[in-house]
Every structure is written in structure tokens, then in C-alpha cells.
């Protein structure tokens, strides 16, 4: 008899006691994903939820706004739980024999990370955010994996970008290798002319390194003299989604798979995202609301890996086809009518990112 069948044999009116452990108090992408999961669990009537926070990264940013329902769940305590859900790195997950069902939730950005298998095979179920991440997990574990999507808060997409030069924009983080900024920079500089009314807006926490990379790339390409090249604007802040509101077309060429909140926001703002085929975000973005770049599977060369034992050359990630990227950017810049149609379509995709949708997918996985 399956564990989930044993759970369902009890009183049907009795709620499942669920303990969720995750980084929902962190002010970063981990925290955002974790809070969305908790909100979805709170929306499932069959569940009596208890939450406990963990911290996977140190941050000096202001604490995030947390749903009061999460605080209430944090004050709960049960003697025993029917389901234990851990949102963490697989290497930190454990199997608790006192819980009926052990569930792990993680982001899987690369393929062939077999070192995590020893932890994942101890779990009863594995939840991921995209089909692309499911494909990253070893074949013998596929029966345990369920895709649950993600949530984005409702936004006001009525504001239009100012009618000046057409602006592509990207989120380059701290200029990590896995962010994939280099192929975007090379494609942009080689496709557009210095006299065209176009700009590339780069959001980064490391403006100095970004400018140095731009200077080196301009020199390496050998098609521009000195500082005269297509316009690039570096910004370090994004208050109130200002980039989504003021720019035209979002581009993401990161090597890692998975759900990215900023890309989903860009879609809902009508900013026709350009994403990689197989990245996971192409499950939401297609030719009707954005552009999808051809990509190749490649070994990872990532000297600035986030942790010592991941993002090594044993794993593989995605690399964009630069000719395909250039073509997509050119179409977005030249085809005003097509851009407008895609923008309008993207603004109507709210139903893809609701708490109700994720709650239903989680319920199907946990309570079949």
C-alpha cells in the first residue's frame, strides 16, 4: 500500500497535518518562491499547515513583507505530521521516519548533478517549478517528480514605456557566469549600429565589472572605434519594477533552467521576453507573447560557481545560438506591429501564475 493511500484511509474530514520548512523569510528569489508555496498550501482546504523558517543565504536587504497567514502557520505545532515538505537544496534534505510522506522542493538549474540523487531517492515525492527542471533529474527518479508552476503577484500593466529609443533590458545580477550576459552583449553589439535608436539596459549589482566587460568586449569584436558603440545603460536599482515599466523588451540568456520571477513579470507587463528554448520559461513564453531563442546543451564552465560542488563540468547547461538571438532582437526592434501584438498577449497571461493554479497542482501531487 502506498503511503498516500494509508494517509487517505483515515477520516476524510480530518485535515492533513503538514509541516513546511523553507527560506520564506529571505528577501531573494529563494524567499519569493518559498512564500508563494506557503500561500498556495494555505489555500488548500485539506491541509492544516505549520511552517518553520530556514536561512540559506545571508542578506543585508530589508526583510520581505510576509502574509499574516504565514505568521499564523508559524505559531502552529503538532505532535506528529502526515507530510513533511522541505524547500531547500537537495543536499540538505533528510527523510523523517515520523512523517507519513517526505516531500522535497528544489530548483534544478543544470542536468547531470548526480551527487544529489542520494538525497532525492530517500524522498517520497519531489516538486519542481518547471518541466525543464523535471528533465534535469535522473531517469530512475522521474516517477516521484511533479511540476507545480509558480506564482506572481498581480501587477498593473497599463503603463507604457516612454516613446524614446527602443530599449532591451536584462537582469545580470553580480555578473556571474551562469547569468549568461556575455552572449547577450556580443549579440547586441554585433547586430545593432551605433546610429540606431536602440539601447541595452543592464541591471547589475556590480556596475564596475559590467563596464569593464563591455569595454573588453567592444575591443574584442573589432568593429567599433573607442567608445562609439550602440547605446548601453547600466543601472543598479529597480524600484517598483521601474525597468519593466520603462523598457521595451526583456532578454534572458542565462545558462540555468528554472522559474525566474523577473521574466514572468516582464511577460505580464507586456515586455515580450526573449528566452532560451528548454530554459523552463519557454513553457510560458512562445511566439504569441515573446521570442524563443534556439539553444544548445553544453558542458558547464563556471569558475564563479555558487557552491563548491555544483555548476561543475560534470553538469550541463544551456547556451544561446547567437544568430538566433540576434534575429529575435532585430525582429523585436523592427516589427512594431508584431511587437504590439505579442505585448498585448503577454499582458493577458495572469492565469498562468495564480495561487489557485499552483495550489491545485500541489494538491494533485500531495493528495491524489
The string of DSSP codes covering 224-239 is: S-TT-SSEEEEES--G
- In whole angstroms, give the CA distance from residue 230 to residue 189: 6
Which residue is associated with the grid cell 483515515? 10
> What mean pLDDT value characterizes the chain?
91
What average pLDDT does the segment 15-30 reach? 93
Q: Mind listing the pLDDT tens digit for each residue in 272-305? A: 999 999 999 999 999 999 999 999 999 988 888 8
Nearest-Å Rg of the Cα atoms of the chain is 22
- pLDDT by residue (tens digit) across 195-209? 999 999 999 999 999
The pLDDT of residue 156 is: 86
- What is residue 129's predicted lDDT score, i.e. its pLDDT? 97
Q: Could you give the CA distance from residue 134 to residue 327 in angstroms, rounded to a whole number?
A: 29
Q: Which residues contact 358 (CB under 8 A, 6 or more apart)?
A: 36, 37, 40, 148, 149, 150, 151
The span from the CA of 175 to the CA of 350, in Å, is 30
Give CA–CA dist 309/303, Å, rounded: 12
Domains of the chain: 3-152+353-366 (3.40.50), 166-352 (3.40.50.2000)
pLDDT at position 359 over 90 = yes
**82 three-class SS:** coil
The number of C-alpha atoms within 13 Å of 84 and in the hemisphere containing its C-beta is 17
pLDDT at 1: 42
**Torsional sign, CA 259, 263, 265, 267:** negative
Q: What is the DSSP string of 10-58?
A: S-TTSPEEEEEEE-TT-SSHHHHHHHHHHHHHHT-TTEEEEEEE--SS-
Q: What angle do CA 201, 334, 229 make, to 5 degrees?
A: 45
Question: What are 219-261's pLDDT values in tens digits?
Answer: 999 998 777 899 999 999 888 899 999 999 999 999 999 999 9
CA quadruple 172, 173, 177, 179: dihedral sign:
negative
User: Whole-angstrom Cα distance, residue 102 to residue 87?
Assistant: 11
Among 201, 189, 185, residue whose Cα is nearest residue 230: 189
Cell numbers for 216: 573588453
User: Is the pLDDT assigned to residue 138 strictly greater than 50?
Assistant: yes
Residues with Cβ < 8 Å from 275, sequence gap 6 or more? Answer: 252, 263, 281, 282, 285, 290, 291, 292, 293
SS3 of residue 314 by DSSP? coil
Q: How far apart are CA 129 and CA 230, in angstroms?
A: 37
pLDDT at 340 over 50: yes
DSSP states of 123-191: SSEEEESSHHHHTTS-GGGGGGEEE-----------PPPPSSSEEEEEEEET--GGG-HHHHHHHHHHH
CA separation for the pair 86, 103 (Å, rounded): 6
pLDDT at 99: 83
Angstrom distance (rounded) from CA 337 to CA 334 = 9
Three-state DSSP class for residue 315: coil
Cell numbers given for 153? 503577484
Instruction: List Cβ neighbours of 222 (8 Å cut-off, separation of 6 or more).
Output: none
Q: Cα separation of 315 and 117, whole Å?
A: 14
Question: Which residues, 6+ apart, have CB-to-CB distance to 362 below 8 Å?
Answer: 37, 40, 41, 44, 127, 148
pLDDT reported for residue 164: 81
Amino acid at each position: 500500500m502506498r503511503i498516500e493511500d494509508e494517509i487517505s484511509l483515515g477520516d476524510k474530514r480530518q485535515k492533513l497535518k503538514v509541516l513546511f520548512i523553507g527560506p520564506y523569510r529571505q528577501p531573494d528569489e529563494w524567499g519569493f518562491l518559498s512564500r508563494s508555496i506557503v500561500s498556495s498550501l494555505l489555500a488548500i482546504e485539506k491541509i492544516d499547515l505549520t511552517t518553520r523558517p530556514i536561512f540559506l543565504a545571508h542578506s543585508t536587504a530589508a526583510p520581505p513583507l510576509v502574509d499574516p497567514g504565514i505568521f499564523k502557520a508559524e505559531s502552529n505545532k503538532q505532535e506528529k505530521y502526515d507530510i513533511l515538505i522541505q524547500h531547500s537544496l537537495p543536499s540538505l534534505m533528510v527523510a523523517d521516519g515520523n512523517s507519513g510522506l517526505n516531500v522535497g522542493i528544489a530548483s534544478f538549474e543544470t542536468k547531470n548533478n548526480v551527487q544529489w540523487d542520494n538525497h532525492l531517492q530517500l524522498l517520497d515525492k519531489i516538486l519542481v517549478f518547471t518541466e525543464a527542471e523535471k528533465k534535469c533529474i535522473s531517469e530512475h527518479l522521474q516517477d516521484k517528480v511533479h511540476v507545480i508552476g509558480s506564482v506572481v503577484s498581480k501587477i498593473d500593466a497599463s503603463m507604457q514605456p516612454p516613446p524614446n529609443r527602443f530599449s532591451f533590458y536584462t537582469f545580470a545580477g553580480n555578473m556571474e557566469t551562469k547569468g549568461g550576459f556575455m552572449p547577450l552583449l556580443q549579440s547586441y553589439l554585433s547586430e545593432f549600429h551605433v546610429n540606431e535608436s536602440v539601447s541595452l539596459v543592464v541591471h547589475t549589482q556590480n556596475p564596475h565589472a559590467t563596464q569593464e566587460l563591455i569595454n573588453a568586449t567592444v575591443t574584442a569584436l573589432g568593429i567599433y572605434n573607442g567608445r562609439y558603440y550602440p547605446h548601453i545603460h547600466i543601472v543598479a536599482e529597480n524600484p517598483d519594477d521601474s525597468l519593466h515599466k520603462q523598457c521595451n523588451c526583456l532578454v534572458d540568456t542565462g545558462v540555468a533552467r528554472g522559474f525566474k520571477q523577473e521574466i514572468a513579470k516582464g511577460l505580464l507587463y507586456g515586455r515580450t521576453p526573449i528566452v532560451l528554448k528548454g530554459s523552463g520559461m519557454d513553457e510560458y513564453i512562445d511566439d504569441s507573447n515573446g521570442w524563443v531563442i534556439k539553444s544548445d546543451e553544453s558542458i558547464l564552465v563556471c569558475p564563479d560557481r555558487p557552491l563548491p560542488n555544483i555548476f561543475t563540468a560534470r553538469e550541463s547547461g544551456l547556451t544561446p545560438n547567437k544568430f538566433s538571438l540576434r534575429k529575435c532582437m532585430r525582429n523585436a526592434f523592427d516589427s512594431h506591429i508584431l511587437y504590439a501584438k505579442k505585448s498585448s498577449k503577454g499582458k493577458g497571461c495572469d492565469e498562468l501564475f495564480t495561487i489557485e493554479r499552483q495550489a491545485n497542482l500541489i494538491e494533485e501531487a500531495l493528495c491524489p
